[in-house]
Structure 1
Amino acid sequence: MHVTIQQMRKTLLRSLSTVRALLPWSILFVLLVGVAPPLCPYRAWGAEPEIVARVNGEPVTLGELQRMLADPLAQNRLEREHGVQDPDSKELERLALRKLINRHLLLQEAGRRNLTVTEQELDQAITALRRRFKDLKEFGEWMKERGVDDRSLFDTVRTEMLLTRIRAALVKDVRLAEEQVNEYYEALKEELKTAGDVRLRIIAVKEKAEAEDIMAALRKGGDFADLARKRSLGLRTAQGGDTGWVNPQSLPPPLLEAVGNLKAGEAGGPLRRGNEFLIVGLAGRRPERTKSLAEARPEIERRLLAAKQQEAVQAWLKEQEKKSKIEVFLQAFSFPPI
């Protein structure tokens, strides 16, 4: 199978945009969407006007749809997931209802597979979510502003955990073929580059005054390696503070910024790191280069596997739509959408 670089990039980016982030962030997003104030113009028809659809007899309510449509973040996410730009209100309504129907299908499958969330797991997820806030007071105020009580919070978190688990179950057997990895590498290898490794020397001391004294000695022509062996408390003191070649993107932000301003042979500091002060010397830089297939493989597999897993979930949903009884009562909505 041959594809153009543009086609591969477009397909991959669209698929990756639907892959969920870490659970607490996913829950936080859903809560932001799920408690938005309702909108008024939408109308369902049928015997029960507050129900816009049924999925195997399970209702999808007008309130669910309105809450999703009321939040700009949810709208942007729908557009990204479906590759639609600037949809009109009816198209957006269609996308939102489709997403809600898919959620019901996934949750019903979780029930069939007897997937559950224990109280301990739920408590751990709630704790992780609360840590996103400065303190419990701030978290409580956030909940109050959005009309979220403890019960709705726990229900939302439990639902998101079940959705995460059923998706994982659906893709557990998804694998990549070697041909796919090779094809991706050949098509996009010019974008798979090293960041340009750096070789550092680091001196760590307890007092800022001592760090400043070492910097003064270096300015006068002192030998960095010699000063490191004599005065540094760092782990690589015996090696003159030499870190070996490292990827600069693996460095903490303050160190990365300092290294970015240095030329080979220069030193900078002092930089505070916890209870220590660092002097950083740049021994050398390697130029940016294209990664070999072996070097790029983990990144390629991570990208492609996420996209392939999403395709598997979408294929499963499409098959379920055919097998399920899905009734839609919203005006001007035909199912299944294209």
Structure 2
Amino acid sequence: MLRGLRKNLNIIIIIVVVAFFFTIFYGTFTRRSQNPSQSAAAAATVNNTVITIYDLENQFRNFISQFDNKYLNELDEKGINYLKRLTLESMINNELLYQEAKSRKIKVSNNEINSRLNEIKANFPSDREFQNYLQYQGIRINDLKESIKRDLMITHLTNSLYESIVIPPEDINSYYEENKSLFSTPTQYHLYQMTFPSQEEAEKIYKRVNLGEDFSSLAKSNSIDSYASNGGDTGWISENALPNESRDYIIELKDKLGSITPIIKVGNNYQFFKLIETKPAEEKTLEESQEEIKAIIENEQKRVKLEHLIAEIRNKSKIEYSESLLSLGIGSEPLPTEPLESENSAATPPNLSETTEIPEVTSKSNP
């Protein structure tokens, strides 16, 4: 689990940095009306600008809300701390980009701020609902506008990096030739299925199907899976999405529409399938794929440019972490692009609704 998380960590950090305004809007402002003493404790200091423990906890909750509970429940304490490190590093990178935008004297017009504000308002049924939300969250409209201004300054900064990006046709052609499988659609299968808790029950119904009884009717009255109410109809399933245990049996029936597989043990249950129809595999041409490939290459180049800018800014900046966070492995070596030692993901994560104890702050400079 952690291996997969770490593999894409750089990309996730960049995505979170660029989109960070939205979590700021829905999280950070709530601190203005809550426990000022908590807000004073530093999680990190970025060139003398403090990121508080309270802000970190708010942003962390917003960040993990993007993951489903099953994923989170498979993470142990180190995994949770790893995500918390990701959140803190994203907040630091966001602050660094804002400071860089200020140092370059990037300007944002009132029209831009008001346009973005109207986009936010459009998410509410009415202006009154929007005002009620701000009041409930303790958000002042001027604070919201200031946050919008900050976000737009960062956006202008990052956009300035991308102006020089040009994708030559030969790069598109090369990418297509090297990644043709990405631009093809596997064979699709329209199936009916039945599922039973025991082989004995499966065999009993299987005999009735082979004697000519209607598959759908039997599925409705006997199958235990979620497709039973639809007569066993699974809809279209891509070949690479077929269950491992049944894939070969189903593929063998590709040219035998209406045929039924043997009874197959899938997990703890027993299943058999009826093939209704198929759609052959399709491969997009280079011409059909050009815009998609251009976007892929362009986004990768944007990521690299932004990553380089952040590395350059961090190299000339002073970043200090709370000693207590360092003791948890948050903000310490190894850096977020390097792996953690633990692969254990069995433990249940801590209760995230509780506020983390505010640590005494001692500093460690960024090397």
Aligned residue number for residue 317 of structure 1: 310
Q: Does 1:297 align with 2:295?
A: no
What is the correspondence of 1:253-292 to structure 2 with a 5 Å cutoff?
Answer: 289-292=282-285
Aligned residue number for residue 163 of structure 1: 154
CA distance in structure 2 between the aligned counterparts of 1:62 and 1:104, rounded to whole angstroms: 15
Change (3 A) 1:78 1:51: farther
What is the correspondence of 1:174-185 to structure 2 with a 5 Å cutoff?
Answer: 174-176=165-167, 178=169, 180-185=171-176
Aligned residue number for residue 283 of structure 1: none
Report the CA distance between 1:31 and its aligned residue: 1.4
Q: Does 1:173 align with 2:179?
A: no
CA distance in structure 1 between the aligned counterparts of 2:83 and 2:16, rounded to whole angstroms: 21
Aligned residue pair count = 224
Aligned residue number for residue 75 of structure 1: 64
Change (3 A) 1:336 1:125: farther
Report the CA distance between 1:177 and its aligned residue: 5.2
- Contact 1:55/1:105 (8 A) holds in 2: yes
Report the CA distance between 1:65 and its aligned residue: 1.3
Change (3 A) 1:140 1:28: farther
In structure 2, give the amino acid aligned to 1:95. Answer: L
CA distance in structure 1 between the aligned counterparts of 2:111 and 2:334, rounded to whole angstroms: 39
In structure 2, give the amino acid aligned to 1:30. Answer: I
Counterpart of 1:143 in 2: which secondary structure? helix
In structure 2, give the amino acid aligned to 1:119. Answer: N
- Contact 2:13/2:86 (8 A) holds in 1: no
Report the CA distance between 1:74 and its aligned residue: 1.4
Report the CA distance between 1:108 and its aligned residue: 1.2
Aligned residue number for residue 142 of structure 1: 133
Report the CA distance between 1:111 and its aligned residue: 1.0
Q: Does 1:50 align with 2:41?
A: yes
Aligned residue number for residue 115 of structure 1: 106
Report the CA distance between 1:131 and its aligned residue: 1.4
Change (3 A) 1:78 1:52: farther
Give unmatched runs, 5+ long, in structure 1: 1-6, 80-84, 195-286
- Contact 1:53/1:330 (8 A) holds in 2: no
Aligned residue number for residue 301 of structure 2: 308
Percent sequence identity over aligned pairs: 22
Instruction: Select the structure with the greater relative contact order (CA < 8 A; seq sep ≥ 6).
Output: 2
- Contact 1:15/1:307 (8 A) holds in 2: no
- Contact 1:19/1:306 (8 A) holds in 2: no
Counterpart of 1:88 in 2: which secondary structure? helix
- Contact 1:56/1:324 (8 A) holds in 2: yes
The RMSD of aligned alpha carbons is: 3.9
Q: 1:337 aligns with which of 335, 338, 356?
A: 335
The superposition leaves residues 86-112 of structure 1 with CA deviations (integer Å, 9 ceiling, x where unpaired) of 363432332222111101110111012
Q: 1:104 aligns with which of 87, 95, 109?
A: 95
Q: Does 1:187 align with 2:189?
A: no
TM-score under structure 1 length normalisation: 0.55
TM-score under structure 2 length normalisation: 0.51
